[in-house]
Amino acid sequence: MNTRPAIESSSNPSALSASFNQDASCFAIGLDTGFCIFDSEPCQLRVSRDFNAGIGAVQMLGKANFIALIGGGKLPKFPQNKVIIWDDAKQKVAIQLPVLTAVRGVRLSRTHIVVALQNSIRVYKFQSPPDLWAVFETADNPHGLCCLTSKTLAFPGRTPGQVQLVELSTGNVSIIPAHTSSLRAIDISQDGEVLATASETGTLIRIFATSNCARITEKRRGVDHATIFSLAISPSGQLLAVTSDKSTLHIFDIPHPSKPARSASPNRRLTTMGNGGGSPVTDGEVGQKWGILSRIPLLPRVFSDDYSFASVHFEIGDEPLYGGSTPLNSEEAFRPPKGIIGWTSDHSIIVIGAGRDGRWEKFVIAEGEDGKRYCVRDGWKRYLGAN
3-state SS record for 175-222: EEECCCCCEEEEEECCCCCEEEEEECCCCEEEEEECCCCCEEEEEECC
Same domain, 227 and 363: yes
Please indicate, yes or no, if residue 144 is contained in any of the structural domains.
yes
What confidence category does residue 2 fall into, taking pLDDT thresholds of 50, 70 and 90? low
Rounded to whole angstroms, how far apart are CA atoms 340 and 352?
A: 5
Q: Is the dihedral of CA 173, 109, 350, 235 positive or negative?
A: positive
Q: What is the pLDDT of residue 318?
A: 78
Q: Of 89 and 268, which is predicted with more confidence? A: 89
What is the average pLDDT across 121-134?
A: 95
Number of domains in the chain: 3
In a domain, 109, yes or no: yes
Q: Give the pLDDT confidence score for residue 280 in this predicted structure.
A: 54
Query: What value does the mean pLDDT take over residues 19-30?
Result: 97
pLDDT at residue 216 greater than cutoff 90: yes
Q: Are residues 87 and 127 in the same domain?
A: no
Q: Which amino acid is at 56?
A: G
Residue 264: predicted pLDDT: 55
Q: How far is CA 385 from CA 351, 360, 382, in A?
A: 17, 11, 6
* Residue 7 binned pLDDT confidence (cut-offs 50, 70, 90): very low
For residues 202 and 246, membership in a common domain is answered with yes
Q: Which of 23-37, 256-270, 326-340 has the lowest mean pLDDT?
A: 326-340
Model confidence pLDDT, tens digit, residues 234-247: 999 999 999 999 99
278-294 average pLDDT score:
46
In this structure, the answer to whether residues 133 and 221 fall within a common structural domain is no
Domain end point (choices 57, 75, 96)? 96
Domain of residue 48 covers 1-96
**CA torsion angle for 69, 65, 348, 376 (degrees, to 10)?**
-40
Q: Are residues 44 and 142 in the same domain?
A: no
Band the pLDDT of 1: cuts 50, 70, 90.
low
**Is 87 in the same domain as 199?**
no
Task: Answer yes or no: do 138 and 242 share one domain.
Answer: no
Q: What is the structure's pLDDT at 299?
A: 45
pLDDT confidence of residue 11:
56
Q: Is residue 191 part of a domain?
A: yes
pLDDT of residue 12: 65
DSSP-derived 3-state class of residue 17: strand
Q: In which band, very low, low, confident or very high, does the pLDDT at 289 lie, cut at 50, 70 and 90?
A: low
What is the mean predicted confidence (pLDDT) over 187-209? 97
Task: Report strand pairing: 239-244 vs 248-253.
Answer: antiparallel
* % of the chain surpassing 70 pLDDT: 81
Q: How far is CA 239 from the centre of its chain?
A: 15
Confidence of residue 13 (pLDDT cuts 50, 70, 90): confident
On whether both 8 and 135 belong to a single domain, the answer is no
Q: Each residue of 79-119: pLDDT tens digit?
A: 999 999 999 999 999 999 999 999 999 999 999 999 999 99
Residue among 52, 59, 198, 44 nearest 116 (CA): 59
Q: Are residues 109 and 228 in the same domain?
A: no
Is 169 part of any domain?
no
Q: Say what the pLDDT of residue 6 is.
A: 42
Of 55, 78, 96, which one is at a domain's C-terminal end? 96
pLDDT band at 270 (very low <50, low <70, confident <90, very high): low
Residue 237 sits in a domain whose CATH number is 2.40.128.630
Indicate if 70 and 207 belong to the same structural domain. no
Domain's final residue, options 96, 128, 150: 96
Please report whether residue 170 resides in a domain: no
Q: What is the pLDDT of residue 91?
A: 94
Residue 178 has pLDDT above 80, yes or no: yes
**Is there a single domain that holds both residue 204 and residue 221?**
yes
Which residues, including other chains, have CB under 8 Å from residue 143's CB and lie 6 or more apart? Answer: 1, 104, 105, 184, 185
- Per-residue pLDDT of 335-366, as tens digits, reads 789 999 999 999 999 999 999 889 999 999 99
- In this prediction, residues 10-23 reach a mean pLDDT of 85
pLDDT band at 51; cut points 50, 70, 90: very high
Using alpha carbons, list the distances in angstroms from residue 270 to 147, 195, 220, 234, 266.
34, 30, 26, 20, 10
Q: Is the pLDDT of residue 327 over 50?
A: no
Q: Are residues 151 and 253 in the same domain?
A: no
Position 88, amino acid: D
> Does the pLDDT at position 121 exceed 50?
yes
